[in-house]
Structure 1
């Protein structure tokens, strides 16, 4: 294997490209977008504020090897993400913790009392099959309706009872006062942004990157020994069995001149109000000093670029049909959120890409 074509310059493609290049392979990377870094792409807006073009990306992992791998390409800014959820006009810590319960219900619970409160509130579900089951089993009907039900409907265009349990299981419930969104060992932001990190990753004499190039335009022409494909798996096979459902997003960016701080935390969720799900203010994430501030509102939608595989049993069954085709492909490796139809976090994509590279090289 001497010449490798990598389709996609996001995490999966860039990590595999770097591993192949370090091993002496000649790597040609194409991406249909006009930039690298995939959905993690960040840039300075017209006002000089560093923003995440495709919504907030917060790096967190418990895997030291993943953090150490990316540390080859960036220095870090320590950052612990915090979120508030707006219910009836007031902001509460989210994920739900003891402070959420005390503020929402005007209580004075200690940790044991919070655990007892949730035990009384929960609606036991057995078996736990859906996201609705997960939340009702954990916090009961009132908290479910205040924080989860309408947010999920907006985010996925589906009721929580129609989604697999894993969606809601990603969000913890705490009886202490820890208001961090994540509790991973390593939580940080690339010091100079994600795009700069990707530039360093792809800066190798064996790597050539061409942007604004669709896979179909080079599929039959480019001579290679192997292809790393990180795009939608159904697109690779011409949607032979029909399209896999993905959820998309529309982003409404806004700069607020002369506003030092727009909101209390990096992200504020709006489960019950507005058509958007959340607002993120980027200066919280980056630590940048600027006279103004820039925010983004996220509007989930059915059409548009694929962001999230929709986790339902029938969709998984359809993916399995495509996966069987993928297994039969000679000299092609499918890796990444879209190619594997998995709701991966960033560190999980890096891990999957490193594992794919190891299989190819060793």
Structure 2
């Protein structure tokens, strides 16, 4: 029997499996319903030899040296600075919106006036949340805030979440700032890179340990049972007295006893084109045009030299647990009602001493890749 069973082979599960196996010599079983490890970070070569991110682009960035160095044990890093453009009024301008975007879209005199006001009010190099900018009483800055909101933010957000921006938690809207700078990079973190051989090889090296076993293509509910009254656990019809680390849907673990939590899903349309390059930057957003939100071209990320190129268009969609085309929960939906429901699940989970919840789905909160690695390392310290 195993010391710890981990449900989910994404970053949260893989980090904890690696740490427990190598540092505590525990016997670990990792269960995942997919046929591969890596969760949404899984990448692979398509039929044309282009390394693609199967579940949308994943760009690693962090200011956390501990996280960067930890992952560096399992990969060499390829420096990569991510830039994104948005198609606005027929022009492709940097996003998040910055001073270069300002001068591209507005008349010179107005752009210069607005730049001075922004710097005087907030300072240079500052990031201002779009919703905060909209509350300013200055007439010109209010015009700019409304312009950015209408041209870049509102329609993209509506497509992404299927909701009006004001109906979404500030935890989400706060992630889309206005940059008062001329730095076109999407991120400003100290460490920005991608694994030189891809994310999947990182997971392979993390999980290729003597004490780690994998059970893929397996729904945990088919092999694992939890008695909600006694707290007893069963694995493969035998009592399991070890630890359960759960990184999947928290409502699914507890049989939706307090109701299902809503999520947002995505559909991806991959296209291979017989050209060297499709677009000038990795990602171009389409806030006001088309049904998709963005197009990503992978060769910009991987820096591969190969004939042809592969792009992917992202179509946000409702999450449906019973539809195999819509049953991947990419983003928790944050509302007051959902938070109350989540709190009931989290309170209920406290009575199970041998169960630890980790990750975006288990904790029902947004984590970037570096955040979830840091969280997993923190949990390792707490439970050992």
Identify whether the pair has TM-score above 0.5, normalized to the shorter chain: yes
| Aligned counterpart, 2:49 | 48
Is 1:261–2:277 an aligned residue pair? yes
Shift of 1:113: 5.1
Pairing partner for 1:246 from 255, 263, 270: 263
Unpaired segments ≥5 residues, structure 2: 122-127, 137-143, 225-233, 320-325
Change (3 A) 1:289 1:188: same
> Residue 134 of structure 1 contacts residue 165 of structure 1 at CA under 8 Å; is this kept in 2?
no
Structure 1 counterpart of 2:13: 13
Conserved 8 A contact 2:103-2:111? no
Give the superposition deviation at 1:164: 1.2
Give the Å deviation of 1:329.
1.4
Pair 1:307 & 2:317 matched: no
Of the three residues 198, 202, 222, the one matched with 1:197 is: 202
Residue 103 to residue 110, structure 1, CA distance change in 2 (3 Å)? closer
2:247 to 230, 240, 244: 230
Q: Distance in 1 between matches of 2:251 and 2:17?
A: 22
Partners of 2:147 and 2:131 in 1: how far apart?
A: 14
Contact 2:250/2:364 (CA < 8 Å) preserved in 1? Answer: yes
Counterpart in the other structure of 1:125: none
Q: Which runs of 4+ in 1 moved over 6 A?
A: 108-112
Match of 1:206 in 2: 211
Q: C-alpha distance in 2, partners of 1:76/1:108? A: 44
The structure-2 alpha-carbon separation of the partners of 1:174 and 1:9, relative to structure 1 and needing over 3 Å to count, comes to same
Residue 14 to residue 243, structure 1, CA distance change in 2 (3 Å)? same
Q: 1:134 to 1:163 in 2, by over 3 A?
A: farther
What residue is the counterpart of 1:136 in the other structure? Answer: 134
The reply on whether 1:188 has 2:193 as its aligned counterpart is: yes
CA contact (8 A) 2:267 2:316 kept: yes
Structure-2 separation of matches of 1:355 and 1:272:
41
Distance 1:113 1:275 in 2: 32
2:98 matched to which residue of 1? 97
Cα distance in structure 2, aligned partners of 1:242 and 1:137: 36
- Write the distance in 2 (CA, Å) between the matches of 1:187 and 1:342: 23
Structure 1 alignment gaps of length 5 or more: 121-127
Match of 1:340 in 2: 363
Q: Which residue of 1 aligns with 2:166?
A: 161
How far apart are the structure 1 equivalents of 2:339 and 2:182?
Answer: 37
* 2:102–2:111 Cα contact (<8 Å) kept: no
1:144–1:36 Cα change, 3 Å: same
State the partner residue of 2:308: 292
Q: Specify the alignment match of 2:293 in structure 1.
A: 277
- 1:116 CA displacement: 1.0
Secondary structure in 1 matching 2:269:
strand
> 1:329 — aligned with what?
352
Paired residue for 1:76? 77
CA deviations over 1:114-134 (Å, ceiling 9, x no partner): 1415889xxxxxxx9xx8734
User: For 2:179, what is the secondary structure of its paired residue?
Assistant: coil
- Deviation, 1:142, is 1.2
Question: Kindly tell me: are residues 203 and 146 of structure 1, through their superposed partners in 2, closer, same or farther at Cα, counting changes over 3 Å?
Answer: same
Compared CA separation, residues 115 and 310, structure 1 to 2 (3 A): farther
Question: TM-score, structure 1 length as denominator?
Answer: 0.93
Counterpart contact for 1:9–1:37, Cα < 8 Å: yes
**Aligned partners of 2:130 and 2:174 also within 8 Å:** no
- What is the CA-CA distance between 1:291 and the residue it aligns to? 1.2
**Structure 1 position 2, deviation (Å):** 6.2
In the TM superposition, residue 171 of structure 1 has moved relative to its aligned partner by 2.3
Q: Secondary structure at the match of 1:85?
A: strand
Deviation at 1:89, TM superposition (A): 1.9
Number of residue-to-residue matches in the alignment: 351
Q: CA deviation at 1:46?
A: 0.5
Contact 1:15 1:354 in 2 (8 A): yes
Which residue does 2:150 correspond to in 1?
145
| Residue matched to 2:141 | none
Give the match for residue 59 of structure 2.
58
